[in-house]
Amino acid sequence: MMKLVIKKFICFASLALTLCMLSACHGSDPRSDFEMPDHFDDSREMEIVFWAKNDTNKTQVQVYERCVEEFEALYPNIHVNLKLYTDYSAIYNDVITNISTDTTPNVCITYPDHIATYMTGAGEIVFLDDVINDPRYGLGGSELRFDGPTAGEIVPRYLDELKLRGHLMGLPFMRSSEALYINKTYVEAMGYEIPDVPTWDWVWEVSEAALAMNDDGTYAVNGQDVMIPFIYKSTDNMLITMLQQSGAGYSDEGGNILIFNDMTGRILKEIASHGQTRAFSTFKISSYPGNFMNAGQCILAVDSTAGATWIGSEAPLSDIHESKKVEFETVVRPVPQYDAGNVQMISQGPSICIFNKDDPQEVLASWLFAQFLLTNEVQESYSETEGYVPVTLKAQNDPAYLEYLSLAGTDTGLHYQVKIDCVKMIIENTDNTFITPVFNGSASLRNAAGQMVENCVKTVRRGGTVDDAYLESMYSDVSQMYRLGEQKISTGSKDLGPLPLTAVILLSCIGIAWLCMGIYVVKNYQMRYNSNRSK
Amino acid sequence: MKKLSAIALAAALMLSMTACGSTSDANTPASDATVVETPADDTAAVTDEIVTEGNDDAAQTTDAETDADADAEGVMSYADFAAAAVDTEVTIITYVQDKQGWWENEGVGNATFYTQDQDGAYFLYNMPCSQEDYDLMVPGTRIKVTGYKAEWSGEVEIVDATYEILGGDTFVATAQDLTDKISDNDALAAHMNQYVTFTGLTVADRDGAAFTYGWDGSRSQGDDIYFNLADAEGNVYTFVVESYLRGADTDVYKAVEAFNVGDTVDITGFMYWYEGPQVHVTIATVK
């Protein structure tokens, strides 16, 4: 009898082991959602990795370093390993690469579009819906060792930008927008007044006028051999903003691609017409708008407000030699508009994403650090490095920060006029900002938008024509290249599709084997039973 | 029956384990987003070895052959290229000297190449190419390139290019010593993208150190290294170890990381331009 029990035990153990192994085969094992621990364990050492982005700005690096130092002083058992990047796409690429090896950082600076892709891996990121409201460790929680903001103290619009299909997928860190930087000295010398809200018509008119030349072949406006009147840094933002302002389609929350419409065609033809005259160029074709502007070779530039410290003859940061710089006054305006009475500008800037890990204490440590990035000191310090706005009302309304804003123009360093003018413009236009729908594939759509502008401008510069036939062909090319419309909306878990044929055969074989074993066990039992009865 | 069941179970387990070991496409990161740099370290080793052996013999092609290339139908000479306006379509025959890492963007492979012939040099920026062709384009490889002349922050380059790998001659340039021209930007611009060398320069302070990761120290180890060198008159010039050309594991990267302010050094690299001369360094030697 004992032998029979042992046999049965081995049989069930084998069955359980087989099932376990099989269950692990199809797809990666999704990590369970993060659940807040009962308490923070400060009895053991923990290391968290933070991938941070700066704008090639050493002061920003110093803010990060100081932030890490101060956080570690508050939580001595948490060690933050800081890795520096200077562009978002590099972080994105590294995260994508590291997801497959489960070596993602704990916290990273990112764009919402990118988080949408990270979300396609089940359990990869920590949804913060419940986390922020935890009474002990949530925003403004009772157990925090620092004075962080409450949920209500984060600018609601900025927090909403991180909500995707019902989930809060991260926290805003800083917000910026784009600005139209104008060489006021040259534009007024051309006889133009600068409106409070420039329109696209005004920008194109001034740009074309700036191409007037002297008899000696130099440009009348600057007396130089080079003049690119209008340069747009981010051509993806350019097309997106123009579509938004004109009420035309780009994409929707369902991930549908709406960009290939008549208005897009009209906009691209208009841009191309000014590319053809050389009144307009792009960063990818020519270089940084600030470099040309500071040399007096560009009079209208759209660039991020986070690049404000590079623009203007007194700019604290510059890539060009001192001998190339010219003197001029810079003014800041909202990006060009189709309707000056209905200002619309893009909201952008870094957000914070937290990656899920097996150890809830490690995730809690990550969350505490992410919150620390929202404290007044970090928010204000980082904001002051560039044309960034703090994402918390707590920091925006802090008397120290208000004093900083009030001192605009008193020096060309911390209180650089152009930078603070950008910040004020964003704060005044918080309700006029927009974002584009975020979905798995939205990053590719954004790239495609920029590519179309670049293609059109390059084509006309090279003697080609941008007409309906050209656009139709280009739409097809970029659709294919960026696989637009192919990505499916993710609900947080990866759809692995139907089982492959080999897997079906394998599972069938296993099923048959276990069926045979079952029949054997039953038959054996019956035989023994019958044998015992006959005895 | 017992044996049959045991065999069936064992077979099923083995099959299932085999299935586990294979890579599922579903677990592969979205390729549209994947940009993976392949360090060009192997190439670096090859080029550096050729150059340090300092062979004038490496220049195996002749002036007559270069002229023949330029005479081929539709192929420009370097003089024609230099005279062409920006945005002009250009076709040249040139020789690969070095290359940055291969990477993939939206499923399309790309790489940036430093190329040169007997008369001048051409910088092929982000030229679409397969990994296989990238591997074939080693220093000396003769290629025919068609693209558009462009200028970005002063750097003259060929963009949106296509290429054809040609057989036959090879040519590896010998670094030209431009030390006596270092303060003359116009003279340096005449050697744009060429393989050049500067000797006897002194490592100068850069933000309190001998070098910075990134131009202002805003990047980390593994990224581009910037450093300043002073000539005998005390004029200071910026040089860079471009990490996509020579990564953190290369000799030159480590050599520069070991620089001390005041060291006397010889530098060899490609005459890149960004708002002024900014050599992409491939060899750094402390004297």
Distance to chain A for B275, nearest Cα, Å: 6
CB contact under 8 A, A100 and B276: no
Which 3 state secondary structure label does DSSP give B204?
A: strand
Cα separation, B285 vs B263, whole angstroms = 10
Q: What is the pLDDT of residue A504?
A: 59
Q: What is the mean pLDDT of residues A475-483?
A: 95
Q: What is the mean pLDDT of residues A24-32?
A: 54
In A234-293, the residues whose Cβ lies within 8 Å of chain B are 285-288, 291
Nearest CA in chain A to B5: A517
C-alpha count within 13 angstroms, C-beta hemisphere, residue B111: 26
Nearest CA in chain A to B218: A58
Q: What is the largest CA-CA distance in chain A?
A: 125
Q: What is the mean pLDDT of residues A343-351?
A: 97
Stretch(es) of chain B classified as CATH 2.40.50.140: 41-166, 176-286
Q: Quick one: pLDDT band at residue A22, thresholds 50, 70, 90? A: very low
CB contact under 8 A, A85 and B219: yes
What proportion of chain A, given as a percentage, has pLDDT over 90?
A: 79
Distance to chain A for B214, nearest Cα, Å: 8
Q: Is it the case that residue B127 has pLDDT exceeding 80?
A: yes
Q: What is the pLDDT of residue A162?
A: 96
Q: Is it the case that residue A21 has pLDDT exceeding 50?
A: no
Residues A376/A384, Cβ–Cβ less than 8 Å: no
* Chain B contact set for A92 (CB, 8 A): 33
Q: What is the pLDDT of residue A150?
A: 97
Rg (CA), chain B: 23
Which among B27, B29, B216 has CB closest to A27? B27
Residues A52/A84, Cβ–Cβ less than 8 Å: yes
Q: Is it the case that residue A516 has pLDDT exceeding 60?
A: yes
- Model pTM? 0.82
Nearest CA in chain B to A479: B106
Superfamily of domain covering B41-166: Nucleic acid-binding proteins (2.40.50.140)
CB contact under 8 A, A520 and B217: no
Domains annotated for chain A, with CATH where assigned, are 46-172+349-431 (3.40.190.10), 178-348+437-481 (3.40.190.10)
Which among B33, B87, B217 has CB closest to A443? B33
Residues A284/A454, Cβ–Cβ less than 8 Å: yes
Q: Quick one: pLDDT band at residue A518, thresholds 50, 70, 90? A: confident
Distance to chain B for A283, nearest Cα, Å: 9
Pick among A499, A510, A514 to test the B interface (most B CBs inside 10 A): A510
pLDDT single digits (tens) A259-282 = 999 999 999 999 999 999 999 999
Question: What pairs with residue A154 in β-bridges?
Answer: A392
B104 vs A346 pLDDT, higher one: A346
Q: What is the mean pLDDT of residues A352-377?
A: 97
Residues B225/B255, Cβ–Cβ less than 8 Å: no
Which 3 state secondary structure label does DSSP give B241?
A: strand
Q: Is the dihedral of CA A451, A455, A461, A462 positive or negative?
A: positive
pLDDT single digits (tens) A166-189 = 899 999 999 999 999 999 999 999
Which among B33, B150, B160 has CB closest to A96? B33
A495 vs A113 pLDDT, higher one: A113
Q: Is it the case that residue A418 has pLDDT exceeding 60?
A: yes
pLDDT single digits (tens) A119-160 = 876 668 999 999 999 999 999 999 999 999 999 999 999 999
* Chain B contact set for A511 (CB, 8 A): none
Residue A85 contacts B, CB cutoff 8 Å: yes
Residue A493 contacts B, CB cutoff 8 Å: no
CB contact under 8 A, B107 and A517: no
* Chain B contact set for A109 (CB, 8 A): none
| Number of other residues whose CB lies within 10 A of the CB of residue A13 | 10
Q: What is the mean pLDDT of residues B208-218?
A: 94
Q: Quick one: pLDDT band at residue B59, thresholds 50, 70, 90? A: very low
The torsion defined by the Cα of A187, A190, A195 and A200, in degrees rounded to 10, comes to -80
Average pLDDT, chain A: 90
Q: Is it the case that residue B113 has pLDDT exceeding 50?
A: yes
Residues A305/A425, Cβ–Cβ less than 8 Å: yes
CB contact under 8 A, A509 and B106: no
Cα separation, A188 vs A206, whole angstroms = 10
pLDDT single digits (tens) A59-111 = 999 999 999 999 999 999 999 999 999 989 899 999 999 998 999 999 999 99
| Number of other residues whose CB lies within 10 A of the CB of residue A463 | 10
DSSP string, A280-292: EEETTTT--HHHH
Q: What is the pLDDT of residue B70?
A: 63
Architecture of domain B176-286: Beta Barrel (2.40)
Q: What is the pLDDT of residue B107?
A: 87
Pick among A113, A118, A309, A319 to test the B interface (most B CBs inside 10 A): A319
Which residues contact residue A107 at a Cβ distance below 8 angstroms, ignoring those fewer than 6 apart?
Answer: A48, A49, A50, A51, A352, A353, A354, A355, A366, A369, A370
- First-residue to last-residue Cα distance in chain A: 17
Q: What is the pLDDT of residue B25?
A: 32
Q: What is the mean pLDDT of residues A393-406?
A: 98
Distance to chain A for B220, nearest Cα, Å: 6
Question: What pairs with residue A232 in β-bridges?
Answer: A282, A302
A328-337, A476-485, B34-43: least confident range: B34-43
A113-117, A181-185, A424-428, A520-524: least confident range: A520-524
Pick among B5, B148, B240 to test the A interface (most A CBs inside 10 A): B5
Q: What is the pLDDT of residue B4?
A: 52
Which among A285, A321, A482 has CB closest to B275? A321
What does each C-alpha distance from B155 to A67, A311, B114, B188, B275 come to in angstroms?
38, 21, 12, 12, 8
Nearest CA in chain B to A290: B153
Q: Is it the case that residue B265 has pLDDT exceeding 50?
A: yes
Cα separation, B197 vs A506, whole angstroms = 64
Which residues contact residue B141 at a Cβ distance below 8 angstroms, ignoring those fewer than 6 apart?
Answer: B95, B96, B165, B170
Q: Quick one: pLDDT band at residue A30, thresholds 50, 70, 90? A: low
Cα separation, A43 vs B160, whole angstroms = 58
Q: Is it the case that residue B278 has pLDDT exceeding 50?
A: yes
Q: What is the pLDDT of residue A276?
A: 98
Q: What is the mean pLDDT of residues B162-186?
A: 97
Residue B185: φ, ψ to 5°: -60, -40
What proportion of chain A, given as a percentage, has pLDDT over 70?
A: 88
Q: What is the mean pLDDT of residues B233-258?
A: 97
Q: What is the pLDDT of residue B58?
A: 42
* Chain B contact set for A513 (CB, 8 A): 5, 8-9, 11-12
DSSP string, B19-58: HHHSPPGGGSPPGGG----B--HHHHHHHHHHHHTT-GGG
Nearest CA in chain B to A55: B218
Strand A300-304 and strand A230-232: pairing? parallel
Q: What is the mean pLDDT of residues B37-46?
A: 42
Residue A458 contacts B, CB cutoff 8 Å: yes
Which residues contact residue B266 at a Cβ distance below 8 angstroms, ignoring those fewer than 6 apart?
Answer: B197, B198, B199, B200, B201, B283, B284, B285, B287
Q: Is A83 exposed, middle or buried (0-12, 13-18, 19+ CB in 10 A)?
A: middle
Residues B90/B31, Cβ–Cβ less than 8 Å: no
A515 vs B213 pLDDT, higher one: B213
CB contact under 8 A, B9 and A28: no
Q: Cα A191 to the chain's mean position, in Å?
A: 40
| Number of other residues whose CB lies within 10 A of the CB of residue B172 | 24
Cα separation, B28 vs B7, whole angstroms = 34
* Chain A contact set for B274 (CB, 8 A): 319
